[in-house]
Amino acid sequence: MITRLTPQDATFYRLESSSNPIHIGSLAIVRNTDGLLDRESPLDYDRLVDLVESRLSLVPRYRRKVREIPFALGRPVWVEDSRFDITYHIRRSALPSPGTDEQLHDLVARLASRPLDQSKPLWEMYLIEGLSEGRSAIFTKTHSALVDGVGALEIGHVILDASPSPRGLADDAWVAPREPTDVELLVGALTHLAAQPREALEVARDASADAFAMIGAAGRAVDSVVSAVRTAAIGAPDSPLNARTSRSRRFDVVRTDLDDYRKIRHRFDCSTNDAILAVVTGALRNWLLSRGEALIESTTLRAVVPMSVYVEGPDRDRLEPASEVSSFLLDLPVGEPNPVMRLSHIAHATEANSKARRGVRARTLVHMAGFAPASLHAMSVRAASTFAEHTFNLVITNAPGPQTPMYIGGARMLEMYPVSPLLRNQASSIGITSYDGRVFYGLNADRDAMADIEVLAAAVHESMEEMLGACA
């Protein structure tokens, strides 16, 4: 099966560079051997391979690779990989037992630094063994061009189960097909261009422009984002968060309790998302102060905050998953010393930006078939990457997850962290996911520009204490 990449898919595929790999990562910590309940099973490499292989029919694009059209006469296409080898994509690693969380984060940072092999299907999965307390980790990398939220979902959608007993599926009858030759791809592209003159003009335009020129042709979703960008009168404030990125990364995590955000929400009559953004703002303020940055009350950082949306069904009573995610620019009041005032500023700004659309509630998303937060993070990154780089300082993605235990191959998932990519000249990204009563932060950062990422992680807890103190 040959499918042409959409304009937006092609944009993300071509944005890839050695210093800016555009893949979305997801880190899951599972209970493996020690402390297993009677109904839980250990997860090993063979079991994981069998599980993923049995679910690939639900995400068929994970068996497809990208092929360029000869002479660049059209957008690249997805083709079935005739040499698909699942053991190439699912890999095994181990920490020196008992491995610490810090060693795991260092390994994730190294894995996240490496671009995906563009001659293969654009994903990798690592089973990382040897963690202390009988735990293992599963780290997944998926190129942002692959996950569009409609035709392709992130693989986390299909390997998670709501019970220790993996759900059964019909046998997968997939057989590796013959790949098209370059001549066949060229003939197909010429035939398509003859029938679509507008795309022929697009090809001619792209021939003399760099990859960023394609953003203008990325379709309705991108047009709406670009329109929002034009409303920004000035660029983003100067910040150490904007720097040329290297090829290396740092990664750290933060674990917080969902009940703490609910306390803030109930005390100040705001949304949980507002409470999370207020905590992030306080953390960024403390981090800037630790660097000796001069802050005045009006100092802000501008974040791209992707906002998911849902649409009403034909009967207007039924909600359906949205096929796109919108984003807006939010000025975080890092100069404001009062945590309650910071929250007030954020709540007013998010309300103003949400009047034209309805946000996805956690309950709505959890009940969407096969929902997993990684897909929403991937869609959020796609939306955020269409903003001009000078208009924002960082990207914050926030995806609600299931509030009941989930399992991977019978092993209970304990924690889950997003690992969002760094966009061009962005020194850090903050991904946030709620799961099973906790809120987990994944902090991905450039190794050179953010050597103090652990300071930002500690500042999240300090900011939370500030907000909870204001609730008293």
* pLDDT tens digits along 65-77: 999 988 777 889 9
332-382 per-position pLDDT tens digit: 999 999 999 999 999 999 888 766 554 444 344 444 434 567 777 877 887
Q: Poorest-confidence range of 47-56, 209-218, 242-251, 422-431?
A: 209-218
Per-residue pLDDT at 111 exceeds 70? yes
CA–CA separation, 433 and 360 (whole Å): 14
Q: Which of 30-39, 155-164, 295-304, 383-392 is least confident? A: 30-39
- Most confident stretch, 57-66, 191-200, 315-324: 57-66
What is the rounded average pLDDT of the residues 189-213? 58
Closest CA to 395 of 263, 465, 301, 463: 301
Residue 372 and residue 154 in contact, taking contact as beta carbons nearer than 8 Å: yes
pLDDT, residue 47, reads 92
Question: What residue type is 118 in one-letter code?
Answer: Q
Tell me which of 359 and 112 has the higher pLDDT: 112
On the question of pLDDT at 216 being above 50, the answer is no
- Arithmetic mean of pLDDT, 1-27: 86
> Sorting pLDDT into bands at 50, 70 and 90, what band is 153?
confident
86 Cβ contact partners less than 8 Å away, ≥ 6 residues apart = 49, 52, 53, 56
Res 119: pLDDT: 94
Cα 137 from Cα 408, distance rounded (Å): 11
Structure tokens at 376: 């929403």
pLDDT attached to residue 149 = 65
Hey, is 92 helix, strand or coil?
strand
Query: Residue 407 pairs with which residues in a beta bridge?
Result: 161, 412
Joined together, the tokens standing for residue 270 give 């705001």
Q: What average pLDDT does this structure show over 408-421?
A: 93
Q: Tell me if residue 115 falls in helix, strand or coil.
A: coil
- Max mean pLDDT among 121-135, 154-168, 372-386 falls in 121-135
Question: Tokens for 452?
Answer: 């103090």
Short-list 241, 256, 225, CA closest to 438: 256
Closest C-alpha to 360, from 416, 434, 412: 434
The sign of the CA dihedral 77, 78, 82, 85 is positive
Q: Which helix (H) or strand (E) holds 202?
A: helix 197-206
Report residue 195 CA to chain centroid gap: 36
The pLDDT assigned to 29 comes to: 96
User: Which distant-in-sequence residues (6+ apart) come within 8 Å of 50 by Cβ?
Assistant: none
Q: What's the mean pLDDT in 15-38?
A: 79
- Whether residue 360 contacts residue 204, with contact meaning beta carbons closer than 8 Å, is answered with no
- Tens of pLDDT, residue by residue over 41-97, are 578 999 999 999 999 988 889 999 999 988 777 889 999 999 999 999 999 999 998
Q: Can you tell me the mean pLDDT for 138-143?
A: 95
Please determine, for residue 217, whether its predicted confidence score (pLDDT) is greater than 60: no
Quote the Cα angle for 239-242-244, to 5°: 145
Task: Please say whether the beta carbons of 117 and 7 come within 8 A.
Answer: no
Which of 4-18, 193-207, 278-292, 387-401 holds the top average pLDDT?
278-292
Q: How buried is residue 267: exposed, middle or buried, by Cβ count under 10 Å (0-12/13-18/19+)?
A: middle
170 falls in which pLDDT band (50, 70, 90)? Answer: low
pLDDT class for 266, splitting at 50, 70, 90? very high
Distance between CA atoms of 467 and 63, rounded to whole angstroms? 46
**pLDDT value for 226:** 41
Greater model confidence, 225 or 197: 197
| Phi and psi torsions of 255, nearest 5° | -115, 125
221 pLDDT higher than 70 = no
Supply the pLDDT for residue 203: 57
Beta-strand pair 301-312/394-400: parallel
Band of pLDDT at residue 225, cut at 50, 70 and 90: very low
Question: Any residues with CB less than 8 A from the CB of 22 and at least 6 apart, and which?
Answer: 12, 15, 16, 143, 144, 145, 381, 385, 421
Confidence category of residue 205, pLDDT binned at 50, 70, 90: low
Please choose, from the candidates 444, 453, 440, 441, the residue with its C-alpha nearest in 3D space to the C-alpha of residue 426: 444
When mean pLDDT is compared across 189-203, 312-326, 452-466, the lowest value belongs to 312-326
Tell me the residue type at 294. Answer: A
**Has residue 172 got a pLDDT over 80?**
no
List Cα–Cα distances, 45 to 91, 111, 390, in angstroms: 8, 18, 44
- Which helix (H) or strand (E) segment is 304 a member of? strand 301-312
pTM of the model: 0.85
Share of the chain above pLDDT 70, in %: 80
State the pLDDT at residue 201: 57
